[in-house]
Chain A
């Protein structure tokens, strides 16, 4: 993530650097080591080493119990000819695209809404965030109750209000379930992204709105020519989090459908879980894991490049 770190590294002038070999310099280095090594140790053991290890494993054949064998590119060529993997990739991309399409406009609208000053909006905003407090397991089980075909909340509407279209096998329909998952995931994450848009809206200088008003802009024009361009970095940040998040999305799908019905909701992370932890083919599962990570990083970099996010000047030091 070279581009991101360049952005992030534009800090204020550091402490004056003492001459090499001076005692002051040694004190600073010692302090750096003491301050940073707990984080680096934890981080190295559970993030950096696993990243390297995952790449290494993808060239081996191993089921934990037996011996580890180097198999070269065998796992990788299997990936390129494995219809299961291609299908999982396709489902994942569908999930990503639909999630982005559903979440972005909703989150932007809600973010602008809760950036407003009326009192009731901040009360609404407080309630909007409730889904973020629930664990994904809790959210999955809650929706399972609502969507359950016979005794669930939606089924009740269909029986008692004669809204028969609500009587669907929401979580067991090959054509419907993926979209149901998109809706549930949106329910969980739209508030988070609304929060991002709210913060973004609040950093737009008021002078721009004054100017738009003096120029006689309508609300739609103000949105098109002031709000939207000013929110471009916010859109990038939020989109990046949506794309990378839904690329790797696992919990709710694992609990609600286990990839089913059939393999219609078996996303890449679920396929990796099945391959690794159910069939204990760690080598091949690592290929899927590496693909997952590379896709995530590539999308993030692409978005940064495409939008010129990396050329931001230091006056607007942004996170991610």
Chain B
């Protein structure tokens, strides 16, 4: 988010100043007490109502899932799916851990996510530093090549990726998923980093260069410390992308020991045993999102920027 984004007043807030009352009168609008024009009060009320409607739309399916996850299959089939009456139970959660084999998927997803974060953050920061420095034509050309990748959807190149992974004897390994997932995330990461590193004042680079600092010192003493806030943002962007990736592990792995969560969830839900046991599937989904929700409420600002990904200017 750019520096101009610091708490600007909403359009309604602008319109509610005293002069706006005169305006509203001139247009035949009713004016309320203390200069708050009726029109903008109505607008704010409408905004509140519509905003609340969307809030309900967002929460309803999540609430449904949460409630279903705290039931046994019997309670789910006979009880009211929208109200916590008729008995709740934790048995679905224990089934997820004991019987579905998703524990391995959790571990694999954690490894995939951490490894992808490390690769994406380190690689993209190094690349962004050189792109912003623009010491040679090589950097400029590289940037163009990386930007080109923003336009390429992973779906369109998944067949060649599959073949390359098979030929490298990496099929059905977590390493293949880590590398492919990192590659699919790195263009956006470089862009985020470039925008941030670019904002480091030229004078700082110049001052350190005059003091005899080389390119490596500039990186470790200036770029790395200055870039800390954006490291969190890129970590979250990459972590979410890796944790929730579906297509890449679906294509590149097959054995249960290398399965990651999204694919594991899908497979558990497709088995004849648990496909009909909705509470177990819901409990598994709840568990898969729990770490992210906890992190989200702890690091909201970084999450918003990380989620924004491309939206950040």
* Chain A contacts to B: CB under 8 angstroms: 1, 4-5, 8-9, 11-15, 25, 27-29, 31-36, 38-40, 42-43, 45-51, 53-54, 57, 64, 106, 109-110, 112-118, 120-121, 124, 126-138, 140-146, 148, 151-153, 156, 160, 187, 191-192, 195-196, 199, 202-206, 209-210, 213-214, 216-219, 222-223, 227, 237, 241, 244, 247-248, 250-251, 255, 269, 272, 276-277, 282, 285-286, 289-290, 292-293, 296-297, 300, 316-320
Contact = CB atoms under 8 A, between A and B. Distances in A.
Given A4-B147, A121-B51, A142 B62 contact: yes
A250 B7 CA distance: 38
Nearest to A29: B136
3 tightest Cβ-Cβ pairs between the two chains A and B: A28-B135, A46-B183, A50-B160
18 contacts: A28-B135, A32-B142, A39-B186, A48-B145, A109-B50, A121-B51, A127-B59, A134-B285, A137-B265, A206-B14, A216-B27, A244-B153, A251-B247, A255-B269, A276-B158, A289-B156, A293-B153, A297-B152
B214 interface: yes
A320 B159 contact: no
Nearest to B144: A5
Contacts of B304: 129, 195
B34 interface: no
Contacts of A152: 81
Given A28-B215, A296-B153, 11 more contacts: A11-B198, A32-B135, A42-B123, A45-B164, A195-B307, A199-B313, A202-B4, A209-B14, A222-B11, A251-B247, A282-B159
Nearest to A245: B153
B107 interface: no
Contact of A134 (B157, B166, B198, B289): B289
Contacts of B70: none
Q: Which DSSP category, helix, strand, loop or mixed, fits chain A's interface?
A: helix
Interface residues of B, number: 133
Given A153-B64, A210-B14, A38 B126 contact: yes
Nearest to A206: B8
Contacts of A110: 51, 54
Contact of B139 (A32, A137, A204, A251): A32
B273 interface: no
A156 B80 CA distance: 8
A43 B5 CA distance: 33
Contact of B12 (A205, A219, A248): A219
Contact of B61 (A13, A51, A146): A146
Contact of A135 (B77, B265, B297): B265
A202 B310 contact: no
B188 to A, nearest CB: 9
A60 to B, nearest CB: 11
The winner among A133, A152, A222 for most chain B CB atoms within 10 A is A133
Contact of B132 (A11, A33, A42, A247): A11
Contacts of B313: 199, 203, 316-319
Nearest to B297: A126
B215 A31 contact: yes
Interface string B189-230: 011000100100010010000000011100100000000000
A251 to B, nearest CB: 5
A151 B76 contact: yes
Contacts of A130: 58-59, 62, 293, 296
A141 B144 contact: no
A148 B247 contact: no
Interface in B148-175: 148-164, 166
B278 interface: yes
B182 interface: yes
Nearest to B17: A213
B50 A39 contact: no
B246 A116 contact: no
A110 to B, nearest CB: 6
Given A136-B246, A199-B312, A248-B153, A151 B82 contact: no
Given A117-B13, A133-B293, A247-B153, A138 B288 contact: yes
Given A113-B47, A219-B12, A237-B311, A1 B136 contact: no
Contacts of B261: 135, 137
A47 B76 contact: no
Contacts of B154: 248
Given A1-B151, A216-B27, A39 B127 contact: yes
B130 to A, nearest CB: 4
Contacts of B58: 127-128, 130-131, 187, 191
Interface in B54-91: 54-55, 57-62, 64-65, 68, 76-77, 80-82
Contacts of B251: 277
A210 B311 CA distance: 26
Interface in B284-313: 285, 288-289, 292-293, 296-297, 300, 303-304, 307-308, 310-313
A141 B138 CA distance: 46
Contacts of A47: 149, 152, 157, 183-184, 187
A279 to B, nearest CB: 12
B93 interface: no
B179 interface: yes
B311 A196 contact: yes
Contact of B4 (A31, A205, A248): A205
B110 interface: no
B31 interface: no
A43 B185 CA distance: 10
A312 to B, nearest CB: 11
B253 to A, nearest CB: 13
Interface in B3-49: 4-5, 7-15, 17, 19-20, 23, 26-27, 29, 39-40, 43, 47-48
